[in-house]
Amino acid sequence: MNLPIRPRRNRQSPAIRDLVRETELTPGHLIYPLFLQEGSENTPIASMPGCTRWSLEGLVKEAGEAHALGVPAVVLFPRIPDELKTRGAEACHADDGLVPRAIRALKSAHPTLTVITDVALDPYNSDGHDGLVADDGRILNDETVEVLCQQALCHARAGADIVSPSDMMDGRVAALRAALDGAGFQSVSIMSYTAKYASAYYGPFRGALDSAPKAGDKKTYQMDPANAREALREAALDEAEGADILMVKPAGPYLDIIAKLRAATMLPIAAYQVSGEYLMIKAGAAGGWIDETKIMNESLTGIRRAGADMILTYFAKQWAAAWR
Ligand code: PBG
């Protein structure tokens, strides 16, 4: 064949492939979600093989190991004892609660580790919803936002670097920014779950925390998986309200949303490879059907290629350990 243009020339050796590679993935791009519980036990999570609900001591050790491998940040998800769950979710802003104690322990053991907290009521709410639930079952927006502000302030007082509202209530980013600034926490960042879909991929996570809704579903606040323009609308609002980082969740089945947001904003984009995405890879590998390390790597590279600056992933430590 008389072919002057041969794309394969750029793939012909590892060295040339290194030179032309468009997407870089390093441990520095990863955020490690960690589960925690009261007491001194570290409990393996049945619905998420390879993940553990940590005691405070276990949490500090695990976060330290990930940080030593180059992972810059962790995000915390607590399992709250049933007796502390109420309809008003008051335990979410107790200064001696599990999350504030964990923040203080992490910051004192690992001062350079960035600690991110989840701002939402579901672990604390006897109804299992991210917002307060009215007697008729409606999720109350404005009342919820007030409690979220108290929760974020509690995390900031304990030393959180970034608060991350995952509740999808309207107007919460502006309210959180005003509450934080009003209390002198101008340097606490907001990583907003901007496009959080009502996804079945969260199933294993709810098993890990015992946080599934007691009645109904989350479709009046989380987004319809069929919608993309709506994500752009949420992004414009969160940006105008003062978010520092916008998040898309889940990640793998929503790469188009990541790419659209990347094109629509100058803000950094985060993507959350959620529990169901993680579990499918773990399950496929446990069955001997796929190569876990290669699929882990390819799934994370794809999320970066779509436009995510950072990825929340349960693989963070494992990937960082396998890297180079
Ligand atoms: C709830 C929250 C959820 C996740 C993170 N924060 C679950 C939900 O919305 O029901 C899911 C994370 C995952 O599946 O890995 N505020």
Instruction: Report the percentage of the chain scoring pLDDT > 70.
Output: 100
Measured by CA distance, the residue closest to atom 11 of ligand 1 is 202
DSSP H or E stretch at residue 304: helix 292-306
| pLDDT band at residue 210 using 50, 70 and 90 as cut-offs | confident
Q: What is the ipTM of this complex?
A: 0.96
Contacting residues for 148 by C-beta, under 8 A, at least 6 apart: 119, 120, 121, 165, 167, 169, 172, 175, 176
Q: How far apart are CA 119 and CA 85, in angstroms?
A: 16
pTM over 0.90: yes
Please list every protein residue whose CB sits less than 6 Å from any atom of ligand 1: 118, 120, 122, 130, 166, 202, 205-206, 218, 274-275
Report the atom number in ligand 1 closest to the C-alpha of 166. 16
- Given 3-state DSSP classes, what are the helix, strand and coil percentages for the chain, each rounded to the nearest 5? 45, 20, 35
pLDDT of residue 181: 98
- CATH architecture type of domain 23-323: Alpha-Beta Barrel (3.20)
Contacting residues for 284 by C-beta, under 8 A, at least 6 apart: 290, 292, 295
Residues serving a catalytic function are 196, 249
Report the atom number in ligand 1 closest to the C-alpha of 222. 9
Taking residues 210-222, what's their average pLDDT? 90
Q: Which of 53, 92, 119, 130 to mutate to test the pocket of ligand 1 (most atoms within 8 A of CB)?
A: 130
Q: Which of 119, 122, 169, 221 to mutate to test the pocket of ligand 1 (most atoms within 8 A of CB)?
A: 122
Taking residues 18-46, what's their average pLDDT? 97
pLDDT of residue 324: 65
